[in-house]
Amino acid sequence: MKLATILTIVLALIPTGTLAQARPSDVPRQIYGKVQVIDGTTFEFVKTRQLIRLAGYEAPRLAQNATTEGVTWPVGQVSRAWMILRTLGQDVNCAPIGRDSNKNLIAHCFVGETNLAATAIAEGIGYAFNYRNEPQVPAYFDIERRARGLGFGIWSSPDLSPPWLCNASPEPGDVSDGPASATEEGLPLPLPVTPDKALSFTQVHGG
């Protein structure tokens, strides 16, 4: 069975809908446009220079390697390359839901109807994960269980350490208590896009 078919079946079994989150006043409703990929979880919007980290998702650190059946491969670089290929030349539609402990925006992001975090998890590119005080997406953990069972990507390397446990020094506040309690079931969906959604710098920063 093709991966796209598997993902379609998985998503069909999960109740859809957005997570109900109260957005602080300094968090924009939507950011839309071309992005520069920083690492497997973080983008910078080209026009506004706004940084966004994917909510409910974590990817291997750039310096991490994995070993699959005796073959070593740069899992962190692969996760970044995967995200570049998914977003290159495409408009990315992000719905920020809050800020992390470093005051960076966290968001659910899409290319068209494709949920980037959900698709990456389904293909074994990264993990369903939420840092302390960040909202959990229960649907992502359901997708991860299926990817793990199929041995995709990161799950093909039994000795690979999750990025939040690797030896690299964490960013301030970059600490996890493990999965938080669920808020609402469902897979995040993209906001409608209209031509005026290419937000300016002042719109993003509330000016």
Read off the pLDDT of residues 129-156 as tens digits, 9 standing for 90 and up: 988 888 889 999 999 999 999 999 999 9
Report pLDDT for 3. Answer: 54
Domain region containing 78: 27-187
CATH number assigned to the domain comprising residue 79: 2.40.50.90
pLDDT band at 76 (very low <50, low <70, confident <90, very high): very high
- Determine, yes or no, domain membership for 164: yes
Let me know if residue 202 belongs to a domain. Answer: no
Q: Tell me how far apart the terminal alpha carbons of the chain are, to the nearest angstrom.
A: 50
Q: Could you tell me if residue 198 is inside a domain?
A: no
Residue 197 counted as domain residue: no
Assigned domain for 22 exists:
no
Q: How far is CA 30 from CA 1, 113, 114, 144, in A?
A: 36, 15, 16, 27
105-111 and 92-99 beta bridge pairing? antiparallel
For residue 195, being part of any structural domain is answered with no
User: What pTM was estimated for this model as a whole?
Assistant: 0.75
Give tens-digit pLDDT for 24-44: 678 899 999 999 999 999 999
121 lies in some domain = yes
What are residue 54's DSSP bridge partners? 107
Domain count for the chain, please give it: 1
Q: Is residue 89 part of a domain?
A: yes
